[in-house]
Amino acid sequence: MLPFNHIRELLDRDKKVKFLILQVCFVFSAALQMASIAFLAPYITLLSDPAYLETNKYFSMAYDYTGAESYLDFLLIYSVCVCSIIFISNAVASAVLWLSIKFTIDIGSGLQRKLYSAFMKNQYIFFLEKNSSHLITTISNQVPRMVYMVFQPFLQAVSQVVLTLFIVIGLIVVDPALALIAALIVTSVYIVIYFAIRRRAVESGKTVSEVARVKLKMLRESIKGIREIKLLGAEPWYEKEVDKTTRKGLSAQAFIRLSGELPRYIVETVVFSAIIVLGVYLITSGTPQTQIVTTLSFYAMAGYKLLPAAQTIYKAITSIKGNASVVDEVWASFTTAKERAKHITQKQDTSVTFDNFQKMHVNAVDYQYPNSDDNVIADLNMTLEVNKLVAFVGGSGAGKTTVANLVAGLITPSQGSIEIDGDKLTHGRLRAWQDKIGYVPQSVFIVDDTVTANICFGVPKAEIDQERVVEVAKKANLHEFIASLSDGYDTKVGEDGEILSGGQRQRLAIARALYKQPSVLILDEATSALDNITERRILSEINTLTDEMLVIMIAHRLSTVEKCDMIYLFEQGRIQHQGNYQQLLTQSDYFRELVEGNEETA
């Protein structure tokens, strides 16, 4: 079954209207194509036998109507008419083809935009659950494949079906028996071949989809992990696997293309052999020469138009069948993303700004990941105030980063609530709240652009405040390094910040967070890649920032949290103890174990 219901559901209303208009254009174009055939066949007879002008009543009527004085005069007039009709029919066909291609491009860009929007409307957790290669492949590969290997062939098939119907009707008018025999022969050949290759075409289509995902995954892994690959000497293995995967995909694509082209040569052989046999039959049966010429000319012209049309229809069907699985994949991705995002309020409350943020209350919050029954955060209660330096500490997997994501609004509580200055943090207020968040993650995202563009990530170029860029770079202890670069703040950092060390990446991320002038600054292991001297300088600068904002530090290196106003000690998703550094040393054996472990590591 061909999944056109999914395609229809993916199309907007205006696209559906344009599709119907395009069908009218197909009918008009097919009628003109048929008219060119109807005018051309008698023209060939008239050229070969001038007496046909007198024996054919339609030509006689036309001769009298035009007022032509001789056979040559009429032939000239009729030639102009035939050329005009051919020109007009082909011009219209070209225009309809252009409209069809333009419509296909609009569909493709619209579907990519629609799917990308459905993804981006989801919460942060959606992207943690999904394989990035799958998301990228669906948008960049599967949607274009659906458009150009399913939807466009469908449009081509529709246009050629209309043309075929007009031609077949014309053939039936000339000779019903011959027309039906010819239609039966051509249709039978295509049906037999189609059912012979149908199953393998479907499997080949699924192979193409799978290969696209696997190949992208392997390419991403081999490029991102090139250091480890070089050290392990794993280049030959990756080269072999990528080559094997590529060959598998190309082989599947080749079969789909071959299955679409192969019947053409068989059908052409059968049809033109049949026309020759028809000519011999007409001659041996004593049919008048003018009728033979007219009949053969008409069938030859009809075959000239009909065979490419039939081939296009068949090729479209095999392409659609072979690539139908991609429609299911795109539809599944779209509906999943849309279903996950439907409970999220997209309309933002613009009346809330959080400009004067003072206090956050976290009230009995539980959090569990989707499709899980276990709480990773349980019964979380805390109060976070501006002008405070707060730390989240604990062992790996204790829930520190998850709590930070809750505070930042990247994920929402499964139970309980978060209040900002007495107002509940809802989906409609997330944008306003996140505008006040500066987040420095463990893994820093760097774009292939200038230093300034990375510090001001997400800010339009015309709105960048260069003075503030320099100011935050100094606070992040990054200014001297930037000044040493050949183009200073306009230096390109390369793909994934290839010119930056781990410590420089972290400092750039700190500068980026500070550029927002946030009310809350979250530092998730933000100094782990820094040397001790640089770390002390930045921590000293961060301590001064508490006059302006709430600073939350997530740390394994507990020496960095000694000066914090409040430390929350997490274990298995719960707060085990809270207090300042000295209080926890006194009250918590677990905290002392963590401190001693840090000292032994140091």
Q: What percent of the chain has pLDDT over 90?
A: 18
> What pLDDT is stored for residue 602 in this prediction?
46
Whole-angstrom Cα distance, residue 356 to residue 333?
41
Give me the residue label for tokens 């190309």. Answer: 250
**What is the per-residue pLDDT for 528?**
66
Rounded to whole angstroms, the Cα distance separating 595 from 599 reads 6
Q: Which two tokens stand for residue 16?
A: 């559906």
3-class secondary structure, 346: coil
CA distance 477 to 493: 17
**Which residue type sits at 175?**
D
- The identity of residue 559, as a single letter, is S
- In terms of C-beta density within 10 A (0-12 exposed, 13-18 middle, 19 or more buried), how is residue 321 classed? buried
d(CA 126, CA 141) in angstroms, rounded, equals 21
pTM: predicted TM-score of the whole model, two decimal places: 0.71
> Is residue 418 scored above 90 in pLDDT?
yes
- Cα dihedral sign, 236-237-238-244: positive
**Length of the chain in terms of residues written:** 602
| The pLDDT of residue 351 is above 50 | yes
d(CA 39, CA 176): 20
In the chain, which segments carry CATH 3.40.50.300?
Answer: 348-436+518-602
The phi-psi region of residue 366 (left if phi > 0; otherwise alpha if psi is between -120 and 50; otherwise beta) is beta
State the pLDDT confidence band at 380, using cuts at 50, 70 and 90: very high
> Given the structure tokens 């420095």, which residue do they identify?
440
Q: Round to the nearest angstrom and report the end-to-end CA distance of the chain.
A: 65
- In whole angstroms, give the CA distance from residue 402 to residue 384: 16
Res 65 pLDDT > 90:
no
State mean pLDDT over 134-143. Answer: 83
CB atoms within 10 A of CB 249: 19
Tokens 């659609």 belong to residue: 320
The packing angle between helices 152-174 and 13-48, to 10°, is: 40
- Decide: helix, strand or coil at residue 447: coil
Q: Which residue type does 190 have? A: Y
- Residues pairing with 570 in the sheet: 394, 575
> Predicted confidence band at 520 (pLDDT cuts at 50, 70, 90)?
very high
Looking at 225-234, list the stretches that DSSP marks H as alpha helix, in order from N- to C-terminal side.
226-232
Topology (CATH) of 4-219+253-341:
ABC transporter transmembrane region fold (1.20.1560)
Mean pLDDT, range 246-269, rounded to an integer: 76
Q: What is the pLDDT of residue 450?
A: 92
Q: Which two tokens stand for residue 361?
A: 């209350």
Kindly indicate the confidence band of residue 367, based on its pLDDT and cuts at 50, 70 and 90.
very high
Cα 404 vs. chain centroid, distance in angstroms? 31
CATH superfamily of 348-436+518-602: P-loop containing nucleotide triphosphate hydrolases (3.40.50.300)
Q: Decide if 369 contacts 376 (C-beta within 8 A).
A: yes
d(CA 128, CA 367): 15
What DSSP string describes 457-504? TTS-GGG--HHHHHHHHHHTT-HHHHHHSTTGGG-B--TTSTTS-HHH
For residue 82 the two structure tokens come to 């035939």
Whether 571 contacts 394, CB under 8 Å: yes
Q: pLDDT band for position 499 (50/70/90)?
A: confident
Average pLDDT of the residues in 334-350? 73
Rounded to an integer, the average pLDDT of 171-181 is 74
Q: What does the pLDDT read at residue 455?
A: 92
Cα–Cα–Cα angle for 117, 121, 122, rounded to 5 degrees: 125
CA distance 410 to 125: 8
Cβ neighbours, 10 Å, residue 54: 11
CA atoms within 13 A on the CB side of 321: 23
Distance CA 512, CA 440 (A): 8
- Count of CB atoms situated within 10 Å of the CB of 508: 26
Residue 352 backbone dihedrals phi, psi, to 5 degrees? -105, 130
Rounded to 5 degrees, φ, ψ at 77 are -60, -45
What mean pLDDT comes out for the span 95-124? 86
pLDDT tens digits, one per residue of 72-105: 888 888 888 888 888 998 899 899 989 988 888 8
pLDDT at 417: 93
Q: Provide φ and ψ at 401, rounded to 5°.
A: -65, -35
Please report which confidence band the pLDDT of residue 293 belongs to, taking 50, 70 and 90 as the band edges: low
The pLDDT of 346-358, averaged and rounded, is 77
Torsion 14-20-25-29 (CA) sign: positive
* Structure confidence at residue 1 (pLDDT): 45
In this prediction, residues 2-8 reach a mean pLDDT of 68
Residue 137, beta-bridge partner list: none
Element (H, E) at 424: strand 423-424
Which tokens hold the place of 188?
A: 């039978």
Region 145-173: mean pLDDT is: 82
Residue 570 has what pLDDT? 92
CA dihedral angle for residue 303, residue 307, residue 308, residue 314, rounded to 10 degrees = 160
Residue 305's pLDDT band (cuts 50, 70, 90): confident
Per-chain mean pLDDT for the chain: 82
Q: What is the pLDDT of residues 307-323, one digit of tens each?
A: 778 778 888 887 887 78
pLDDT of residue 521: 92
Contact in structure between 505 and 446 (CB atoms under 8 Å): yes
DSSP letter, residue 561:
G
Checking 158-162 for CB contacts under 8 A at 24+ apart, the result is 158/23, 158/26, 159/26, 159/29, 159/30, 159/96, 159/100, 160/308, 160/309, 160/310, 160/312, 160/313, 160/316, 161/313, 162/23, 162/26, 162/27, 162/29, 162/30
Ranges of CATH 1.20.1560.10 domains, the chain: 4-219+253-341
